[in-house]
Amino acid sequence: MSQYREKTGRPSKKKRLSVYLDPDISLRLDDHADRREQSRSMIAEAAIVSFLSPDAEERREAAIAKRLDRIDRIIQRLERDIGITNEAFAIFIRAWLTSTASLPESAQAAAHAKGGERYDKFLEALGRRLAKGPKLRQEIPEDNG
């Protein structure tokens, strides 16, 4: 309740306030007021009252907590995906190192050329899979990671 109303018992006269709004915010205010069939002043006053109310801080805190929870879930998913990638890579390297025999000097040039061809095909296959899927993380159930 305003101080004027407390002293006299009569409603206080509203005070005029001029504000400058970004054009986009002004359009959004107009649109919101039109949809609600209320004046821009009433919408702006309600927004200011809401912002200044004691529970406004609690609402902001709840919104921040919700965003932090979402970010936490995203980070957990990233950690899971990185763990899967690291383990898959380690298994591949271990298998490759144990199954690949050393080549004699005379065969190394041909093997190097063949390796380059295979690598190019690998990159093509990787590009296709990344573009169209499915992704490895989609093939592994959530509860295993």
For position 22, which CATH number holds? 1.10.1220.10
Please tell me the total count of domains within the chain. Answer: 3
Work out the burial of residue 131: count CB atoms within 10 Å of its CB; fewer than 13 is exposed, 13-18 middle, 19 or more buried: exposed
Single out the residue of 81, 77, 7, 19 nearest to residue 45, CA to CA: 19
* Same-domain status, 60 and 75: yes
Residues 6+ apart with CB under 8 A from 5: 11, 12
- Digitized pLDDT (tens) for each residue of the chain, 145 residues in all: 455 455 556 667 888 888 899 999 999 999 989 998 999 999 998 888 877 887 877 888 888 999 999 999 999 999 998 998 999 999 999 998 888 888 899 998 999 899 999 999 988 988 888 888 777 777 777 765 4
Q: Which domain holds residue 128?
A: 105-145
* Same-domain status, 89 and 113: no
Distance CA 32, CA 40 (A): 8
